[in-house]
A = this chain, B = another copy of it.
């Protein structure tokens, strides 16, 4: 069926290693032979077998990415990783953990068995166990979207803490407002970091409350509805855009005018901010940037270069109709 390196060698009247050398540009081969080899490759439509190649060379050109789920923001991230990795000649193997450590560990086994050259791990809650396994394997790895749970591992993420502080600090008169925070799940590290950031500014503020939902649009809507039926926040700080969009709908249905009667803010997660009514004041992170940087780092690590262990990326606060800011 498909031809192999020996077929090419025979047709080009050279030895196997010569074919290999031409294809991998690993050693100098005379122009004459090189031409014969390339010609034979073209004639036979030869495609090297990556499995055999990886097996004998202990190298693979595959990078694994493990994500909890393929949402909007992670899709942008992967898109960007993919572009960068392709430029460097790497393929992408994607695993979806559903956010469960058990699956994450299985996926790592899977990718280890594929001899991936490196792994980019996306999680809102990086597991120590995962990190330890990866370290033990001495596999190049980049933790994205969140800081690695142990040191000595490379992390690339956004400065959620500072973003949260800055957002709160730019809300005029925050001290005189009763503040409601609507968070995602309590085991979501990123949510917790954002809350920490909020509280840094709110520490002398004695009129705030924190509520929880599961972080989806639907549950954000439900939770907000419950809150608004019982209480009267001046401002509702939502831990992501989906929650915020749900809250906007809840406010609308409850007859509460945003921002006049209540302000609402979101936080990165989608790009819905520009479409909602009112448009959503939120924090924007550049997933493409993070993807590119993470991919660059993993490539660099694979090649054995030194890389900064931590890189933390900035944010942009987008002022829109749902909450006026003083910036």
Contacts and interface: CB of A to CB of B under 8 A. Distances in A.
A47 B92 contact: no
A92 to B, nearest CB: 5
A91 B75 contact: no
A272 interface: yes
A141 to B, nearest CB: 16
A51 interface: yes
Interface string A60-82: 10100000011110011011001
Contact of A51 (B47, B60, B275): B60
A173 to B, nearest CB: 28
Interface string A102-114: 0000000110111
Interface residues of A, number: 42
A49 interface: yes
A137 interface: yes
A43 interface: no
A113 B47 contact: yes
Contacts of A114: 50-51, 62, 91
Given A95-B91, A275-B272, A115 B51 contact: yes
A70 B48 CA distance: 28
A312 to B, nearest CB: 25
A93 interface: yes
A123 to B, nearest CB: 16
A54 interface: yes
A55 interface: yes
User: Across chains A and B, which 8 residue pairs bring their CB atoms closest together, nearest first?
Assistant: A277-B277, A51-B51, A75-B75, A50-B113, A51-B54, A70-B79, A70-B75, A51-B55
21 contacts: A2-B137, A47-B109, A49-B113, A49-B115, A51-B55, A51-B60, A62-B93, A69-B79, A70-B70, A70-B75, A70-B78, A70-B82, A75-B75, A78-B94, A79-B96, A82-B94, A91-B114, A94-B94, A245-B275, A275-B276, A277-B277
Given A51-B51, A70-B75, A72-B75, 9 more contacts: A2-B112, A51-B114, A82-B96, A86-B96, A91-B93, A91-B110, A92-B93, A93-B93, A272-B275
